[in-house]
Amino acid sequence: GAVVSQHPSWVICKSGTSVKIECRSLDFQATTMFWYRQFPKQSLMLMATSNEGSKATYEQGVEKDKFLINHASLTLSTLTVTSAHPEDSSFYICSARVLAGSETDTQYFGPGTRLTVL
């Protein structure tokens, strides 16, 4: 299957700092990438849908000014958590949708980034 990478895999930062997470599709082009957040023992919560070359679509309750998403190319999307606070500590996972027509519509997940804000 397709490979999606995320960087960094884990990060610890002080409250008030910003953290950038990268999501890359390594062997395919992804017009659409998704960003999720998962708290312990809970389901994945979709934060936003990122489309290459256009603004991200945020789910209700997700602050677009706090979670900045940039999808500058067909293989890279970034999520920046601005002015992070302890309640932002979570497991952030991206996924990429394989281009329609090349395979059945499937999304492949990155390995996730564990963010801890002190």
d(CA 71, CA 54): 7
Beta carbon nearer to another protein, 38 or 82:
38
d(CA 60, CA 108): 23
Interior angle at CA 60, CA 54 and CA 113, nearest 5: 70
Q: Could you tell me the two tokens for 114? A: 């564990």
The answer to whether residue 43 forms part of the interface with another protein (CB under 8 A) is: yes
Q: How far is the CB of 96 from another protein (least distance, A)?
A: 12
d(CA 39, CA 2): 26
Beta carbon nearer to another protein, 1 or 53:
1
| Residue 74 CB neighbours (<10 A) | 16
Q: Which of residues 57-116 bind another protein (CB under 8 A)?
A: 91, 93, 97, 104-112, 114
Q: Going residue by residue from 23 to 42, which x/- string records binding to another protein, judged by CB under 8 A? A: ---------x-x-------x
The answer to whether residue 50 forms part of the interface with another protein (CB under 8 A) is: no
Residues binding another protein (CB under 8 A): 1, 32, 34, 42-44, 46, 49, 91, 93, 97, 104-112, 114
